């Protein structure tokens, strides 16, 4: 029986007891159906929820007969009357007080046998869910994520509009941008042998917008980076990208804080305190061993190099004599840090390139503290000094790490994060936002024996550090800022160089010759000569914000049609081979490695 589904009176999650007695039309998918002593019950579902339909053979024999043929995910429309469920109320669902006494049903479209059950996918593989993403989308959890994503993006756009940012669209078919990852290339047909690069970010274009007088630019934009995919990377991802003229760091940071506040309000109805705390890169490295610290828990690093100088422990002494240091973390909760656990941690440190994880357990003996386990014998002479310097007490474990500053930071950061999980120190539902400032402008790459930008080559050095560019480049601090949320870098940006001489100086420090700079970035260098205002900006990865706010396990969960770890789209199977005529059009010849 055809039913005017376009005249549906309600969505499937809307009806309540107050509508009892009303005549309604609903449409949706069959979530479940079951026969009960003559009656047939069907839950009909759409993106708002489910409603129970009751088919009574006495009242509507035709409809009842049809209902018995239904399968999950058939598309139906029904007419009927809202009835109170009386003693059969189901408090677990919002529509649980009512059901529909169905008068007529229209089976609009049948569903073939499903690759997995939408209402209970169980342990269906992610590949399978992504292959049939349209079925996956029907699940309430996935709907929740994408509606939250929409709310967050809308909050961003509203905020930008309220604050006079102009949305300017920047091209996808363009030239290399300066983020430093590998480009995705697109061959040109009309200029054979030449290639566009897909943008790794709109960096140069947004700077040109500032030089062009837009004053404030914002765009929610797709970016492309051909990186080896780690668990939390996607080849194409979405950035909230912005740029402002006549600003200093604090102005950009304040704009981001305002925007992030709106995002939290929209997604989670949470009021976030502003301004966010700031920490310098140096301090972050000293206290946490990493430049994106998680401040939801303690376990901070303490430098004990001076104390360790006085021990006979060769490993420590050698590290110190080689210009390194010794830092440590003190953890309470000895009962959880069993031998098995600490041995496991030591193995993990070896797994990431370390040589081990010296540790001592603190206990009390006749009123004084003493050390036990592995390296204890070397550290006895400094027991009191060490314990009082790091505030250790009986029952604590002290994890020590010798080495260069970077090594010590890397391993103790790892230990710190693992300990927080082992000791269950990470509070639920806490959002610690933090700015990290004063990054080094450049870092030395030992393998390539040259300086690399920490951010990108358009990032401005701090004015007072410019002279150091000639004498001690590693000491030059930049006007860059990163925003960190619960230990994850969520946004990064900087005040840019608006002076062509400084820009050339940075290029030469990075070993980028004048010709190369011109070949790559001529249009920006040109623009810097024609009255570039001071400007700066930032970009944040929208996908990652949605992932954390929706508590999703992976970026793939929050991207509608994501790629797998192998950069394949499971839905379309892209990338695929193309036909010979297509290659001929582009004057391309393949030179593939022999099949393995
Ligand atoms: N373009 C930079 C990035 O994508 C962000 C910025 O400096 O604004 O990482």
User: What is the structure's pLDDT at 277?
Assistant: 98
- Say how many CA atoms lie within 13 Å of 573 toward its Cβ: 3
What is the distance in A from the centroid of ligand 1 to the CA of 251?
16
Smallest CA separation from ligand 1 atom 4, residue: 201
User: What is the structure's pLDDT at 230?
Assistant: 65
Q: Distance between CA 32 and CA 44 in Å, rounded?
A: 7
What is the distance in A from the centroid of ligand 1 to the CA of 112?
47
CATH of the domain spanning 5-109, picked from 2.40.50.140, 2.60.120.380, 3.40.630.30, 2.70.240.10: 2.40.50.140
Q: Sorting pLDDT into bands at 50, 70 and 90, what band is 72?
A: very high
What is the distance in A from the centroid of ligand 1 to the CA of 344?
38
Residue in the structure block whose two tokens are 């159906």: 33
Q: At what angle do helices 405-422 and 281-288 cross, to 10 degrees?
A: 60
Beta-strand runs (E) in 498-561: 535-541
Which protein residues touch ligand 1 with a CB less than 6 Å away? 179, 201, 203, 492-494, 537-539
Cα 343–Cα 347–Cα 350 angle in degrees, nearest 5: 140
Q: Sorting pLDDT into bands at 50, 70 and 90, what band is 371?
A: confident
Q: Taking 70 as the threshold, does the pLDDT of residue 231 lie above it?
A: no
What is the distance in A from the centroid of ligand 1 to the CA of 468?
25
Q: Taking 80 as the threshold, does the pLDDT of residue 463 lie above it?
A: yes
**Mean pLDDT taken over the chain:** 94
For ligand 1, mutation pick of 479, 492, 497 (most atoms within 8 Å of CB):
492
User: What is the structure's pLDDT at 312?
Assistant: 83
Pairing type for strands 397-403 and 236-245 reads unpaired
Continuous H helices in 173-280: 203-211, 249-268
What is the distance in A from the centroid of ligand 1 to the CA of 540?
8
Identify the burial level of 149 via C-beta atoms within 10 angstroms of its C-beta, where 0-12 means exposed, 13-18 middle and 19 or more buried: buried
Q: Which atom of ligand 1 is nearest to the CA of 537?
A: 8
What is the distance in A from the centroid of ligand 1 to the CA of 222?
13
Q: Are 528 and 521 in contact (CB under 8 A)?
A: no
CA distances from 161 to 108, 205, 218, 234, 266 (A): 43, 20, 9, 28, 16
Q: Taking 70 as the threshold, does the pLDDT of residue 229 lie above it?
A: no
User: What is the structure's pLDDT at 424?
Assistant: 95
For the stretch 54-63, contacts whose Cβ atoms lie closer than 8 Å and that sit 24 or more positions apart, written own/partner, are 54/83, 54/99, 54/100, 54/101, 54/102, 55/102, 55/105, 56/101, 56/102, 59/101, 59/103, 60/102, 60/103, 60/104, 62/1, 62/104, 63/1, 63/102, 63/103, 63/104, 63/105
What does the pLDDT average to over 334-361?
92
What is the distance in A from the centroid of ligand 1 to the CA of 201?
7
Q: Taking 90 as the threshold, does the pLDDT of residue 340 lie above it?
A: yes
Smallest CA separation from ligand 1 atom 8, residue: 538
Q: Quick: pLDDT tens for 511-556.
A: 988 888 888 888 888 899 999 999 999 999 999 999 999 999 999 9
Q: At what angle do helices 514-528 and 203-211 cross, to 10 degrees?
A: 40
Classified by CATH at the fold level, domain 142-279+432-559 comes out as: BirA Bifunctional Protein; domain 2 (3.30.930)
Q: Quick: pLDDT tens for 272-319.
A: 999 999 999 999 999 999 999 999 999 999 999 999 988 888 889 889
Q: Sorting pLDDT into bands at 50, 70 and 90, what band is 375?
A: confident
CATH class of 297-422: alpha beta
What does the pLDDT average to over 234-255?
97
Q: Are 220 and 542 in contact (CB under 8 A)?
A: yes
Q: Distance between CA 395 and CA 596 in Å, rounded?
A: 56
Q: Distance between CA 357 and CA 348 in Å, rounded?
A: 9
What is the distance in A from the centroid of ligand 1 to the CA of 220?
13
- Percentage of the chain with pLDDT > 70? 99
What does the pLDDT average to over 197-207?
95
User: What is the structure's pLDDT at 232?
Assistant: 76
What is the residue extent of each domain of the chain?
Answer: 5-109, 142-279+432-559, 297-422
Q: Sorting pLDDT into bands at 50, 70 and 90, what band is 29?
A: very high
3-class SS of residue 222: strand
Q: Which atom of ligand 1 is nearest to the CA of 243?
A: 8
Q: Sorting pLDDT into bands at 50, 70 and 90, what band is 210?
A: very high
Q: Which atom of ligand 1 is nearest to the CA of 206?
A: 8
Q: Which atom of ligand 1 is nearest to the CA of 202?
A: 1
Q: Quick: pLDDT tens for 377-399.
A: 888 888 989 999 999 999 999 99
Q: Sorting pLDDT into bands at 50, 70 and 90, what band is 233?
A: confident
Element containing residue 456 per DSSP (H, E) = none
Q: Which atom of ligand 1 is nearest to the CA of 458?
A: 7
Q: Sorting pLDDT into bands at 50, 70 and 90, what band is 55?
A: very high
For the stretch 518-523, contacts whose Cβ atoms lie closer than 8 Å and that sit 24 or more positions apart, written own/partner, are 520/175, 520/176, 520/178, 521/178, 521/204, 523/204, 523/208
- Tokens linked to 570: 């499971």
For ligand 1, mutation pick of 456, 496, 497, 544 (most atoms within 8 Å of CB):
456
Q: Quick: pLDDT tens for 122-142.
A: 999 999 999 999 999 999 999
For ligand 1, mutation pick of 233, 455, 495 (most atoms within 8 Å of CB):
455
What is the distance in A from the centroid of ligand 1 to the CA of 204?
10
Q: Distance between CA 319 and CA 311 in Å, rounded?
A: 12
- Percentage of the chain with pLDDT > 90? 84
């Amino acid at each position: 029986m055809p039913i005017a589904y376009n005249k549906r009176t309600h969505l499937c999650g809307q009806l309540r007891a107050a509508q009892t007695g009303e005549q309604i039309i609903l449409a949706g998918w069959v979530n479940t159906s079951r026969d009960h002593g003559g009656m047939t019950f069907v839950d009909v579902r759409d993106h708002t929820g489910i409603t129970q339909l009751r088919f009574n053979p006495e009242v509507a024999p035709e409809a009842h007969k049809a209902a018995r043929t239904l399968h999950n995910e058939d598309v139906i429309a029904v007419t009927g009357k809202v009835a109170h469920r009386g003693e059969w109320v189901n408090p677990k669902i919002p529509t649980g007080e009512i059901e529909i006494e169905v008068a007529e049903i229209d089976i609009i479209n049948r569903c073939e046998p499903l690759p997995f059950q939408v209402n209970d996918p169980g342990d269906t593989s992610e590949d399978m869910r992504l292959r049939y993403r349209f079925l996956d989308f029907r699940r309430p959890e996935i709907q929740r994520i994408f509606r939250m994503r929409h709310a967050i993006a809308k909050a961003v756009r509203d905020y930008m509009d309220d604050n006079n940012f102009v949305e300017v669209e920047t091209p996808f078919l363009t030239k290399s941008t300066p983020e430093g990852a590998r480009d995705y290339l697109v061959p040109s047909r009309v200029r054979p042998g030449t290639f566009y690069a897909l943008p790794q970010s709109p960096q140069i274009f947004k700077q040109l917008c500032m030089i062009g007088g837009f004053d404030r630019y914002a765009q929610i934009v797709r970016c492309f980076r051909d990186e080896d995919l780690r668990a939390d990377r996607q080849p194409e991802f979405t950035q909230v990208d912005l740029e402002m003229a006549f600003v200093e760091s604090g102005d950009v940071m304040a704009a981001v804080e305002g925007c992030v506040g709106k995002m939290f309000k929209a997604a989670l109805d949470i009021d976030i305190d502003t301004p966010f705390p700031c920490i310098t890169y140096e301090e972050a490295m000293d206290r946490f061993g990493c430049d994106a610290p998680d401040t939801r828990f303690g376990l901070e690093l303490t430098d004990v190099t001076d104390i360790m100088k006085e021990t006979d422990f060769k490993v420590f002494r050698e590290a110190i004599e080689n210009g390194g240091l010794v830092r440590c973390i003190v953890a309470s909760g000895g009962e959880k840090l069993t031998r098995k656990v600490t041995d496991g941690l030591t193995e993990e440190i070896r797994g990431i390139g370390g040589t081990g994880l010296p540790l001592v357990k603190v206990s009390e003996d006749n009123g004084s503290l003493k050390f036990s386990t592995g390296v204890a014998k070397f550290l006895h002479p400094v027991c009191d000094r060490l314990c009082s310097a790091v505030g250790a007490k009986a029952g604590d474990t002290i994890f020590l790490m010798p080495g260069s500053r970077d090594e010590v930071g890397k391993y103790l950061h790892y230990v710190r994060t693992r300990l927080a999980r082992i000791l269950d120190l990470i509070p639920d539902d806490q959002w610690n936002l933090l700015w990290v400032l004063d990054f080094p402008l450049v870092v030395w790459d030992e393998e390539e024996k040259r300086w690399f930008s920490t951010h990108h080559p358009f990032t401005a050095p701090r004015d007072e550090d410019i002279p150091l560019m000639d004498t001690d480049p590693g000491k030059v601090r930049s006007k860059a800022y990163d925003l960190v949320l619960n230990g994850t870098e969520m946004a990064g940006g900087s005040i840019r160089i608006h002076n062509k001489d400084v820009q050339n100086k940075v290029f030469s420090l990075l070993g980028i010759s004048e010709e190369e700079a011109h070949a790559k970035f001529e249009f920006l260098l040109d623009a810097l000569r024609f009255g570039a205002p001071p400007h700066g900006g930032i970009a944040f990865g929208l996908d990652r914000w949605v992932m954390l706010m929706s508590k999703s396990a992976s970026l793939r969960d929050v991207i509608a049609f994501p790629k797998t770890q192998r950069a394949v789209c499971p839905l379309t199977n892209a990338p695929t081979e193309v036909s010979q005529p297509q290659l001929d059009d582009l004057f391309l010849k393949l030179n593939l490695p022999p099949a393995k």
